[in-house]
């Protein structure tokens, strides 16, 4: 219930672009971008998800390469393999954030685009409790992060799975990205739209509008607090080293 790429225009025209989706899950994003003219590769640590993605691509009659892998180790791809790196909510589950950033930087061409989203740290700290989650801490110890949280996810058929996610501050998320050599171009703090009062034209701008209760506590809180952090960054076109600060030092020494 929030604006998608059609409104945000974070990726732009992907026709003819080489795209890697990190943590692709069922590959829906890769499939959609392939339909728009991109050449896509999806990477996910779950063989079951990769199998599911391949079935969806076959059903959609598009060609997408899907391989098993993790964000911290994209060794299947040489340097400068892609024009765009994309990730949707996968970085919440990445153990070594800086290494994942370094790998995204490495596989991008100079000037390449890195667009990813993850749970907003402020919502993780207080939002879920305010939204009525009985298992959420009233006030997360934001000052003590980074930290790890674990919980049980229950599926519709009654089976459960143990989940493990990482809690990181906004400072860490952004600063480690910059230290990896990326230039931050845009940051979006996204809450849900006022769907209950939206016109048909406004609703048409939203990718998904599931059933919801406008009187629910969760709806009210997600209208007021950003639940998703979206970042658009770029690998500097003039980068000759892994980190931008190293390149600056080289430039200064050259001037001397």
CATH code of the domain in which 124 resides: 3.40.50.150
pLDDT digits (tens, 9 = 90+) for 156-195: 899 999 999 999 999 999 999 999 999 999 999 999 999 8
- The predicted pLDDT at position 137 comes to 83
Residue 55 included in any domain: yes
Residues in the chain predicted with pLDDT less than 50, given as ranges, are 240-241, 243-256
State the maximum Cα–Cα separation within the chain, in Å, rounded to a whole number. 68
* Number of structural domains the chain divides into: 1
pLDDT confidence of residue 253: 40
Q: How far apart are CA 97 and CA 57, in angstroms?
A: 29
Beta carbons of 7 and 28 less than 8 angstroms apart = no
pLDDT at 236: 86
Kindly state whether residue 106 falls inside one of the protein's structural domains.
Answer: yes
Q: What backbone phi and psi angles, to 5 degrees, belong to 38?
A: -85, 160
3-state secondary structure the chain: CCCCHHHHCCCCCCCCCEEEEECCCCCHHHHHHHHCCCEEEEEECCHHHHHHHHHHHHHHCCCCEEEECECCECCCCCCCCEEEEEEECHHHHCCCHHHHHHHHHHHEEEEEEEEEEEECHHHHHHHHHHCCCCCCCCCCCHHHCCEEEEEEEECCCCCEEEEEEEECCHHHHHHHHHHCCEEEEEEEEECCCCHHHCCHHHHCCCCCCCCCCCCCHHHHHHHHCCCEEEEEEEECCCCCCCCHHHHHHHHHHHHC
Task: Give the model's pLDDT for residue 251.
Answer: 36
Q: Does a structural domain hold residue 4? A: no
Residue positions counted in the chain: 256
Q: Please indicate, yes or no, if residue 9 is contained in any of the structural domains.
A: no
Q: Which domain holds residue 227?
A: 15-255
Instruction: Please check whether residue 207 lies inside any domain of the structure.
Output: yes
> Could you tell me if residue 8 is inside a domain?
no
Whether 218 is covered by a domain: the verdict is: yes
pTM given for the model: 0.89
Q: Identify the pLDDT of residue 238.
A: 59
């Amino acid at each position: 219930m929030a604006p998608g790429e059609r409104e945000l225009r974070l990726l732009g025209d992907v026709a003819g672009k080489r795209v890697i989706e990190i943590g692709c899950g069922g590959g829906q994003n890769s499939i959609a971008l392939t339909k728009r003219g991109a050449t896509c590769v999806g990477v996910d640590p779950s063989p079951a998800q990769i199998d599911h993605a391949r079935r969806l691509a076959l059903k959609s009659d598009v060609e997408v390469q899907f391989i098993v892998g993790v964000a911290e180790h994209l060794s299947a791809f040489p340097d400068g393999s892609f024009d765009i790196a994309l990730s949707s909510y996968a970085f919440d589950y990445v153990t070594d954030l800086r290494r994942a950033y370094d790998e995204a930087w490495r596989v991008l061409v100079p000037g390449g685009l890195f667009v990813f989203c993850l749970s907003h740290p402020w919502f993780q700290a207080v939002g879920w409790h305010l939204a009525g989650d009985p298992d959420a801490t009233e006030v997360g110890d934001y000052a003590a992060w980074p930290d790890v949280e674990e919980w049980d996810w229950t599926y519709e058929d009654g089976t459960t799975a143990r989940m493990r996610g990482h809690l990181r501050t906004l400072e860490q998320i952004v600063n480690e990205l910059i230290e990896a050599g990326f230039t931050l171009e845009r940051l979006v703090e996204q809450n849900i739209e006022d769907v209950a009062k939206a016109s048909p034209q406004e609703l048409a701008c939203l990718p998904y509008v599931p059933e919801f209760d406008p009187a629910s506590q969760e709806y009210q809180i997600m209208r007021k607090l950003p639940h998703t952090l979206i970042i658009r960054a770029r690998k500097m076109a003039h980068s000759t080293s892994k980190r931008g600060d190293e390149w600056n030092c080289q430039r200064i020494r050259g001037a001397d």
